[in-house]
Structure 1
C-alpha cells in the first residue's frame, strides 16, 4: 500500500495502491522486508521485457551490450540477478516469471494455478494468472511460496527439498519444445538431465500427441487477448495514444473475437488439459528449454517484423 502501482503504464503513473495485496500481507507477516517495486512490460503483456514508456531494464549479465531481461517481470529478474534483492515477485500468465528467470540466470516458478491468491494484483488473464517468485535457488522459491500460500494440510512446500530422487521419471518431449532452439541451449538442458541421471533419475524421451492439438489451439482466437480487452477496453477507447502500440495491438486482438469462439476455446483448453494429464500419468516431470535462445540484443528487435516473432518464441514453451 501507499506505493505507485503503474503496471508499467503511463496511464497509471499517479495510481497509489490503497491496500496491500493478499500475498504482500502474508509475506510481511512472515518477516519479509520490502525493498522496492520493480519494472515490467506494460500491463504484463509481453515476453521480451521491452517497455517504451519507462525504458527497458538492462540484463546485468552483459554490461557492454543492452540485452533483453525477459518479461513481463523484467525488473524482478534484473534486481535478483544484479544482487539488489535476494528474491522478487512477478505475475506469470504465459511465462512472465519464467522468461526473465531464463534470460537472467535465475530460478523462476509459476505455481499451480490457484495456489496463491491474486487478490490485489493487476490482472492480465484471470483464468491463467499466477503469482510466482524469482530467486537464485529452488529452495528460496519454495520458501517464498510457502509464506504466500494458505496453510496447507499435511506436507509443506519445503518438506521434500531434501531427499531421494532416485526412481523418478524425467522425460524429454520429442516434439514442439525443441524447434528453433540454439545448440548451446539444448546442450545446457541435456547437461542438466545428466545430473539427474547421475542421481538415479530415469531419463527418457516421450512423444506427446496432445502437442499437435495444442499448436492448433494456439493458432485460434486468443483467450488472453479477450480477457485483457475486457479489462482495458475503456482506457483503450479513451486513451489509445497513451498505450505502447505493441501492447495495444495485442490487446485489441481480443476486441473482435466472438463470444462463441471464446467459450469454445475455453472448452477446448479444458479438454487439452485432461489429455495432457492422462499422457503424463507415468511421468514425474518434463524437462524442456524455457526459451530457445539466450537473451537477444535490444537494438536487434526494434522493428515489428523482428519483435513479434522473437516475442512469440519467448512465450512458446512457457505457455504449454
Structure 2
C-alpha cells in the first residue's frame, strides 16, 4: 500500500506528459500554462487510492486519474471566468493573461482531452466509468449554477447550502474514489461505502475551509482571513449565524453585509463567537468526518489497507491551511 504522498509524487510524474498538440499555440499554450500552476491533485490520487484499496493499481486507473485532473482544471478555468478571479495559486488566471474567449476554449479543449484519456480505458467496466464520470460532471455544473444563484438570493437555508457543496465539491471526490474502486474490482456494497466516505469527507473539507477563512492563522492559511466576509459570501458560518443568532445580532449581521465598514471582519467574527458559531462549525466538521470514517470502517477489506485513506482524511480536515 502506498501513502497519499507517495501516490501524489507518482501521479505528478505521470501527469508531466504532454496533453495537447503544439498548434495552434494560441490555444494550447494557455491550457499548458494553467496545468503548470500545479495543485494538490487530491482527486486523481483518490482514484489511485480507491483502486489500491482493493487490488494493485490497474493501468486503466492512471487514464481515469488523468481524465479527472483535466476535468477538474477545466472547471477551475471556467469558475475563474465566472468569479472574475484575477489570481489562481498566486498567478494570473487564464482569462486575465490570455483573454476570456481563449480561456473558454482552453477549458473546453481540456474537457475534450479528458475524454480522450477515458477512451483509453480497456476494462470491462468502461461503460460504468463513463456513466459515473458524466453524471458527476453534470452535478458539478449544477452545483456551480446553484452557487451563482445564491449570490442573488437574500436567504439561503442550511439544507440548500449543503446540497450545493455536495454537488460542487463532494461528488467529484466521491466519484474519483468510486471509479478507482470499480477498476480495482470492488463489489457493489464496497463501492457505495467508498463513495459515501468521499462525499462526507468532501463536506467536512468545505466546513473546515469556511472555518479557516474566518478563524484560521493567516500565516498558515496563506490567505487574508475574513475574505469570505468581505465578499459577503454565503458560508456555513454565515448561514448558521443568520438562522440561530438573536434578533439584534441577526439585524447587525444583515447591516454589516450591506456595508463597507472598515471593521466589518472583526465585527462579524465577534458576532459569530457570541452566537457560538465557531464551536458549532468545529462540531459539524467532526460529524461529517465521523460519518466518513464510519463508511471507511464498513468497507470489507483488512484494516491495514484502509490506513492511507484514514490518514488522508485526517490530513484534509485537520489542516490549518
TM class by smaller structure? under 0.3
More strand by share: 1
Q: TM-score scaled by structure 2?
A: 0.27
Computing the radius of gyration over CA atoms, which structure comes out larger, 1 or 2? 2
Q: TM-score scaled by structure 1?
A: 0.27
More helix by share: 2
